[in-house]
Structure 1
């Protein structure tokens, strides 16, 4: 019986493990070796690690965690969770069962990209979602925004002061006259034709429109797409969910089921409009959830 099982070994799970280990709480970390930022070459906006490869960041954290004998890592996929606080069982792929008094879910989310041929291949290298994470690298350069929905105006406002120019490329249907007027008033150019496909170019991403025209840009940002839970546990445990697709938590990482905590971009408070895709925010959430696991176990 572990004090806690942490499911997921990204920033939230690793920081949770560190906090638990420092308080000498027996902890099992289950690492599926699948990470949201797995395709990303370099992560940014991370104090002390700006520009570091995510794999290097994880490896350094894992090496530091070897100093804590109460923390055990296993490369394994968790398939189901059952039980109640102080006696949870986690069934692994293959049927093995582990037990713990508390569970911290840190399994993250999966990005659901728009159905644009070639986009998956560019994701994390030439195509991005977060201007805070990746906008600065394109300062003074020409970029494209894929999608002309409400988020395109938001991206335009954030990236406009950073980059040299922005062209918005609609998906599926051309923009309306009103949408075009709003985007152009914000300083963007608006492509007349919809996106047909994307591919890598010599120095960035190439957008091919329905008429066959190629436009090479330094970087591409998505104004459409969604997220989904990477793991099945929210549904299995019937956790309270938010309209963003994330698990609802309170200020301390508690979910709606006693003894189950969630940390990282799979969860957020109801006062937030959505999860924050940030390594630092995920680590902070993992630390907070782990601290309150310790508090509960000490009561």
Structure 2
């Protein structure tokens, strides 16, 4: 039987507090539970892939709705007596002696007014994820996660044989269009009123990728995917749209703890998920190693990094308890 939830005790002490209930945090909690570490998982209920109807490119889970994945993980965690899952957000994470004090509240990453209960942890695994900011194109947000997406590896195959648009005007548009060359029947770059770099335009022309330079007036859901209307010229009917979103840390803890960051906006970690602050580990798309060009934003890699960070946290505690 699982142990009773002790998280209402203001003096509750945990080996590890995992902050974030997405795939990285869930896997971290599972790994720690299997090592019988007293673990608290704090889940704010905010998830980067919440708009997506299905997650893909995860062996045995291809096509699974994200909520179904999280629910199955919760069932598995319930079988581990040392793991407590709490549907609440951390509101503050502060170094405290050899460990950390974690304040907990109801609102995601809100202030701590009202004196929420403080928990203590010997180590932290941060798995709070990133927040996407979409281009300010009318109609894009309601399509995001279904007709519109950011990753061809995650959502490209479902558009097989369709006309696919790439929205944007940076150097990335050519790479995305090329990733789709074996998938889409047609590819069109929506430059949205900006001039593409001459080299990028030459690459697209050579590959037979159409370019619509006009400003995009509106995106509307249609029977085949979406209708793209422009400030001038005919509409385009597309089956799907890929877009580059800007992303930033979803939670403020990396900044507040003074963790070293990379130019991508992600927390710098080593191969084991260690951050620049001893006792703090990070996993999922909020973190990556400098050897990689960007965070690998997929459910499978997030879960894998959660396992690694949890194993590193367990090893760190082991070394503290049994110094050489």
Alignment TM class, shorter chain as reference: over 0.9
- In the aligned structure 2, how far is the partner of 1:84 from the partner of 1:70? 23
Query: Which residue in 2 is equivalent to 1:185?
Result: 206
- CA deviation digits over 1:134-188, x for unaligned, max 9? 1111111111110121110110121111111101111242436554332111220
Partner of residue 36, structure 1:
48
1:122 aligns with 2:122: no
The residue that corresponds to 2:129 in the other structure is: 108
* Residue 241 (1) aligns with residue 244 (2): no
1:27 aligns with 2:39: yes
TM-superposed deviation, 1:85: 6.8
**Pairing of 1:243-282 with structure 2 (within 5 A):** 243-282=263-302
Q: Alpha carbon RMSD of aligned pairs, Å?
A: 1.4
The answer to whether residue 169 in structure 2 is matched with residue 148 in structure 1 is yes
> TM (normalized to structure 1)?
0.96
Asked whether the equivalents of residues 30 and 78 of structure 1 are also in contact (C-alpha less than 8 Å), the reply is yes
Tell me the matched-pair count: 298
Structure 2: state its 5+ residue gaps.
Answer: 1-12, 106-113, 320-324
State the alpha-carbon separation in 2 of the partners of residues 197 and 175 from structure 1.
Answer: 20
Higher alpha-carbon deviation: 87-96 or 280-289:
87-96
Kindly indicate whether the alpha-carbon contact (under 8 Å) linking 1:31 and 1:74 is maintained by their aligned counterparts in 2: yes
Aligned to 1:204: 225
Give the Cα–Cα distance (whole angstroms) in 2 for the partners of residues 63 and 190 of structure 1: 48
Structure 1 gap segments, 5+ residues each: none
The answer to whether the 8 A contact 1:86-1:100 is kept is no
SS in 1 for 2:101: strand
What displacement does 1:120 show? 1.0
SS at match of 2:284: coil
Aligned to 2:242: 221
Tell me what 2:22 maps to.
Answer: 10
Output aligned runs, 1:44-123, within 5 Å.
44-84=56-96, 86-93=98-105, 95-123=116-144
Per the alignment, do residues 175 and 210 of structure 1 end up closer, same or farther by CA in structure 2, a change over 3 Å counting?
farther
Inter-partner Cα distance in structure 1 for 2:132 and 2:97: 31
Q: Which of 160, 185, 190 is residue 181 of structure 2 equivalent to?
A: 160
TM-score by length of 2: 0.89
Measured in 2, the distance between the counterparts of 1:42 and 1:165 equals 24
